[in-house]
Structure 1
Amino acid sequence: MTKQPFGAMTCTAMALRPLYGQKTTWIGSLMRKFLVLLDDSHECLNAMRFAAMRAANGGGGVVIMSVIPTADIQHGFGVADVMRAEAHERIEAHFEVFAKWMRSRPRVEPELIIREGDPAEEVIAQIAEDPEIGVVVLGLNSDKSSQNPVLNRLLRDAAALACPITIVPGDIPKERLEAIT
């Protein structure tokens, strides 16, 4: 297969391309993972639900990623270490709430990844580092005046991403999520 830019590929050519330059004869052997960004927003809950239901129904994994903004921990050395440790504890406690619910679903064992930096850049970096990530799942706030900088950045760079982005409305009912997954 000749290398083509994504925009020039047909759907069939894109589906058959090796992931991230790997020489793969059986793409189906790679597990599809859903990457969800963990934060304190209400729409994050629906994104988590959607990813867990899709993983349970379609046989995949869920990677829950939380990013500690660098600005939040740029203080003196001792203070930065304490702030970093506190952020990790808070994230792990938040993750366990979602993980407990996800583990109650068949075949879903969520994985937590904590990174530091710009959230959008870290999502892009995680996708590049993990070829098993097949879908990024993000929640969307129904409040039109609210901006989501991570979503805006990923949508701007969507053509360069190696996987699709699924946007889950924050106010969609749980029953509707179950019906579409």
Structure 2
Amino acid sequence: MPSFDADQELRATSNRTFLVVVDDSDEMTKALRYACRRAQHTGGRVALLSVIEPAEFQHWMAVGDLMKEEARDEAESRVNELAAYVHEQTGSMPLLFIREGRLKDELLNLLDEEEQISILVLAAGTTSEGPGPLITALTKSDTVGQLRLPLTIVPAALSEADIDALS
């Protein structure tokens, strides 16, 4: 019978990377807090993904390019702001990813490419429309089977104290 080795277990958990998808929703901050607390308690780290989705309509190429540049600047600013929060909470800088394309596609591509990401952390919305478009898309039967890692869904109704107690 193999013996329990606490050092080996700690080394195994210290390789955990918790990915949070950055958006402007209130619930995203719940997912981020949960990921930070879990990373802090397991010796892991946090990764942030921001996806710049293509504009629906681009009448003139120059206007489209300007819109794309502004969206990238906004994404970089938001990710840097959140990176400072992650550093404050965990003591280490997060991995940062900024991608352009469709959110679901870019997320799945990132998960395929970056093997160090071990847990995806999202927070459910509180609206009557459901938990949110990304959670809905990822939990469909044709997609959920593609995930190579656990998906943690943090209820948006949890307070910071609740999240701290759970993590």
**Do Structure 1 and Structure 2 share a fold, with TM-score over 0.5?**
yes
Partner of 1:36: 20
Q: Does 1:46 align with 2:44?
A: no
Measured at CA, do residues 49 and 159 of structure 1 come closer, stay the same or move farther in structure 2, by a change above 3 Å? Answer: same
* Alpha-carbon RMSD: 2.1
The whole-number CA distance in structure 1 between the counterparts of 2:12 and 2:131 is: 37
* Matched residue SS, 2:55: helix
Query: Could you tell me which residue of structure 1 aligns to residue 82 of structure 2?
Result: 98
* Counterpart for residue 165 of structure 2: 179
Q: Which amino acid aligns with 1:32?
A: R
Q: What is the total number of aligned residue pairs between the two structures?
A: 155
Give the gaps of 5 or more residues in structure 1: 1-26
SS at match of 1:132: coil
Name the CA distance, whole Å, in 1 between partners of 2:134 and 2:60.
Answer: 28
TM-score by length of 1: 0.77
Greater shift, 28-37 or 77-86, is seen at: 28-37
Q: Distance in 2 between matches of 1:109 and 1:115?
A: 19
Q: CA 1:81–1:134 in 2, change beyond 3 Å: closer, same or farther?
A: same
Cα deviations across residues 63-92 of structure 1 (Å, max 9, x unaligned)?
A: 111111123574533223221221111112
**Aligned counterparts of 1:64 and 1:123: Cα–Cα separation in 2:** 11
Structure 1 counterpart of 2:137, from 153, 158, 161: 153
Displacement of 1:55? 1.0
For the structure 1 residues 54 and 120, does the alpha-carbon distance in structure 2 shift closer, same or farther, using more than 3 Å as the test?
A: same
CA–CA distance in structure 2, aligned partners of residues 29 and 75 of structure 1? 50
Distance 1:162 1:73 in 2: 34
